[in-house]
Structure 1
């Protein structure tokens, strides 16, 4: 069997790296939820980054305390605030410099300067400090 050209091997390594980075980002995003209480504190929704309601806590007696319109207002206020908080958390998490991987162009530039690494695949790990 013929040996793959170093650029082809690098391209395949880059494809694997991109797949891993995408999976990692999706896992991080899936873990982000927000729970902001309503103005009265009796309603606490759990909302993910897409604004989907994942869970809802209603304190005992909440439905008896409010009429329909007031309860809807409590629910919607808490859901809107939780959604905004989840989006803030998402933005902070996805842009955290400590979690950002090395740029692919930087890795490939180093790999090329080192003469294709003696036929070694590029190393995409985080920079060593």
Structure 2
């Protein structure tokens, strides 16, 4: 089998489409990391009906912290305390989901579609360097 080199290009150079694919992969990794960071920063702290219990719930629904005001355990019986805690966790979980929807769908945070960037690049001729999406090569 014969290997045919692109005219004017050495055998060690990557084809522009391959370089574009590598650039796309890098950009996708960066976008996914950015989304994870934004999601991980979202927490909710909604008080219970009495205001004496405040949980901290993250976007994955995990209970990260729980504040009980002094005297809360003495004020409520076991079942009432459980109801206070669960109500506060449910409210915080609803709030964190709402925050997630707002943050992830904010038009200011939405990057340009990759397909549009690639179409623009291809329209200019694929012999130039691939799009780097405004970021330095890593």
One fold, TM greater than 0.5?
yes
Could you say what secondary structure the match of 2:121 adopts? helix
Which whole-Å CA distance do the structure 2 matches of 1:36 and 1:70 have between them?
A: 18
Point out the structure with the larger helix share: 1
The aligned length equals 125
How far is 1:74 from its partner? 0.2
Give the match's secondary structure for 1:91.
helix
Task: Tell me which residue corresponds to 2:124.
Answer: 114
Uncovered stretches (5+) of structure 1, i.e. residues with no partner = none
TM-score, normalisation: structure 1? 0.93
Q: Equivalent residue of 1:57, what SS?
A: strand
Larger-Rg structure: 2
Paired position in structure 1 for 2:103:
93
The alpha-carbon deviation at position 123 of structure 1 amounts to 3.6
**Aligned residue number for residue 6 of structure 2:** none
Residue 37 (str. 1) matches residue 47 (str. 2): yes
Residue segments in structure 2 that go unaligned for 5+ positions in a row = 1-10
